[in-house]
Amino acid sequence: MIEVEISSKKKPGTEDREDLLERFRTVRRTTEWLCEPLTSEDCVVQTAMECSPVKWQLAHVSWFFEQFVLSAFDKRYRIFHDKYAYLFNSYYNTIGDRTPRPERGLMSRPTVEEVKDYRRYVEEAIEHFLLNAGDATMKQALPIFILGLNHEQQHQELIVTDVKTVLAMNPLRPIYRSRTIERSPIPSLRWIEFDEGIVEIGAKNEEFYFDNEGPRHRQYLESFALSDRLVTNREYKEFMHDGGYQNSALWLSDGFAKCEEESWLAPKYWEQHDGEWWHMTLQGFRPVEDSEPVTHISHYEADAYATWAGVRLATEFEWEHGAHTISTEDNLEGNFLDDANFHPIPDADGNGLRQMFGDVWEWTRSAYLPYPRYKPVEGALGEYNGKFMSNQMVLRGGSCATPRDHIRSTYRNFFPPESRWQFSGIRLAKDI
C-alpha cells in the first residue's frame, strides 16, 4: 500500500511514551484478535500471488519494527534470527535479497508458534526501547515507530482480505466470524453538486501522513456531482442482466480483454445457484443481499458500470473535496474493521454524502501518480511508495476491513486496475 511522511509536534516526554506504548499494545492486540478464529492451517495458505499467508504477515510486521526501529536505534538489540530478514522482507531492495512473493506460502518453517515467539520477542524489545531510550534517540526513532504502527494497521486489513480468499477456496465454506447484518430498503440514488473552483488537495504538515499524500497543492475542479451513496448489489445486477459483461462498447480495451481472459460474469466470490446469486463472505456462504454495496470488483468493472449508467467515476481530487465537506479527521463515520461486520452494510439513513468512509474502497478514474513537487523519502523507506507510481489506479475512503483511526480524507490507496480481491466498490460522478 502506502508510506511515509511524519511531523512530530513535540518532543516525547514520559507521558507521551506511555501513550505510545499503549498505542503499540493496542495495535498488536488488534492483529492478534483478527487471528483468534484462525487455525494454524488457515495461517499458512497462499491462494494468489497478490496475497500473503497470515503467518508471513505476522512475521513481516515484526521484522519491520526489528529492521527499522530496533536495529537502527537500539545498540543493545540482538536480532531474533539471522535468516528472518530474507524470509520476511517484502520488497526493500536496499535491505537485501528476499523470498519471492509467490513463494511465501511454501514456507513450512518457521512454524506459526515460532512466528508468535518472534512477535513476543520484538514486542518486549520495543516496549523496553520506548521506556528507556534517550530523548535524542527517541526523537529520531519516533517517526519510524509511528510508521510501523500504521504499517501494521495496513496488514490488519490485508489479513482480513487474504483470509477471505483462503476460506473462499475451501469447499466447506468456513465461517470466519458470525454476524447478523440488518437489511434495509435503499432509497433511489441522489446527486450532490459541487461548484467549480480551486481547492487544496493533500495532507497538512501538522499530522501523520504517508508521503504519497503530499505535498499539499492546489487543484482546479470543474463543476461536478457525486452520488450520495455507493452502488448496491441490486443496481449492479441490472448491469449484469443487461449484458454488461458481454458489451465491449462499455469497457476499456484492456479491461474487456481481461474480462474475456478471466471469464468474468459477476463480482469476485459470486456464484449462481438455481437462478439465484450467492457469494462467499467472512460470515459464510449466503445469498447476495440487494441492499448491500457491491464489492470485490475491479477498476475495469467499476468503469464499465459507470459508462453503462451514463456517468463516470470521480477523480481522486473530486472525491477528496467532497469528503472534506462532510467530515473532520477526528470523527469519521462509517463501517470499519472496529465494527466487526467484515462486510459492507446497507446505509439507508441520512442526507448528503454517505458511506464516504468504510464499507468499500472507492475506485476513482485517477491514475496513481506523484503530486506536484513530490520526492520519495531517502533510504530504504523511500522504496515503499514512489516506485509503484505506474500502472495503478487510486482508491479512496477505506473499507469494512480498515481500522477506523487509520483512514483519513487524504489517504491514497492504489491497486492495478484488474485487482478484485480487496473490498472495492463504486461511487458515481458526473459533470454538471
**pLDDT tens by residue, 101-139:** 899 999 999 999 999 999 999 999 999 999 999 999 999
279, 423: one domain: yes
Among residues 133, 168, 203, the one where a domain terminates is 168
Query: Does the pLDDT value for residue 9 go beyond 50?
Result: no
Check: CB of residue 114 under 8 Å from CB of residue 55: no
Tell me if 179 is assigned to some domain. no
Same domain, 118 and 235: no
pLDDT tens-digit map of 171-199: 999 999 998 777 778 889 999 999 999 99
Cell numbers for 367: 491514475
- Taking the model in full, what pTM does it have? 0.93
Q: What are phi and psi of 428, to 5 degrees?
A: -90, 160
Instruction: Indicate whether 345 belongs to any domain.
Output: yes
Using DSSP's 3-state secondary structure scheme, residue 150 falls into helix
Residue 190 vs residue 348, higher pLDDT: 190
Q: Is residue 173 part of a domain?
A: no
Residue 8 has a pLDDT of 38
Residue 10: burial class (beta carbons within 10 Å; 0-12, 13-18, 19+): exposed
- State the total domains in the chain: 2
Looking at the fold, whether 161 and 278 belong to one and the same domain comes out as no
Angle at 400 between CA 202 and CA 426, to 5 degrees: 65
pLDDT at 7 over 50: no
- Write down the pLDDT at residue 328: 60
State how far the Cα of 86 lies from the Cα of 98, in Å rounded to an integer.
Answer: 4
Is 174 a member of any domain?
no
What span, in angstroms and rounded, lies between the C-alpha atoms of 233 and 276? 13
Percent of the chain topping pLDDT 70: 94
The kind and range of the H/E element at 248 are none
Q: Rounded CA gap, 220 and 198, in Å?
A: 4
Q: Are residues 160 and 197 in the same domain?
A: no
Query: Residues 126, 30: one domain?
Result: yes
DSSP string, 267-286: STTEEEETTEEEEEETTEEE
User: Do residues 217 and 350 both lie within one domain?
Assistant: yes
Across the chain, which distance is largest between two alpha carbons, in Å? 67
Residue 14 confidence (pLDDT) above 80: no
What pLDDT does 15 receive?
55
Q: Is 175 within a domain?
A: no
Q: How confident is the model at residue 384 (pLDDT cuts 50, 70, 90)?
A: low
For residue 180, being part of any structural domain is answered with: no
52 in Cβ contact with 162 (< 8 Å): yes
Per DSSP, the three-state class of 375 is: coil
Give dist(CA 71, CA 63) in Å, integer.
Answer: 10
99 or 248, greater pLDDT? 248
Cell of 8: 512530530
Q: What is the CATH number of the domain that holds 270?
A: 3.90.1580.10
Together in a domain, 199 and 137: no
Same domain, 136 and 206: no
Pair 134, 198 in one domain: no
Bigger pLDDT: 105 vs 13:
105
Eight-state DSSP code of residue 363: E
pLDDT of residue 432: 94
Taking only the tens place, the pLDDT of each residue in 276-315 is 999 999 999 999 999 999 999 999 999 999 999 999 999 9
322 and 417 belong to one structural domain: yes
Residue 321 near residue 220, CB atoms below 8 Å? no
| Cis peptide, bond prior to residue 110, ω within 30 of zero | yes
pLDDT digits (tens, 9 = 90+) for 57-107: 999 999 999 999 999 999 999 999 999 999 999 888 778 898 998 999 999
Average pLDDT over residues 49-59: 95
In 141-282, the DSSP E strands lie at 191-194, 197-201, 217-221, 224-227, 270-273, 276-281
Q: What is the dihedral of CA 118, 119, 121, 126, to 10 degrees?
A: 140
The verdict on residue 3 lying in a domain is no
| pLDDT higher than 90, residue 219 | yes
- pLDDT at 3 > cutoff 70: no
Q: To the nearest whole number, what is the mean pLDDT of the chain?
A: 92
**Distance in angstroms (rounded) separating the CA atoms of residues 124 and 156:** 20
What pLDDT is attached to residue 122? 98
Residue 413 in any domain: the answer is yes
Shared-domain flag, residues 160 and 245 = no
Q: How much is the pLDDT for 329? A: 62
Range of the domain at 197: 191-431
The reported pLDDT for the residue numbered 12 is 46
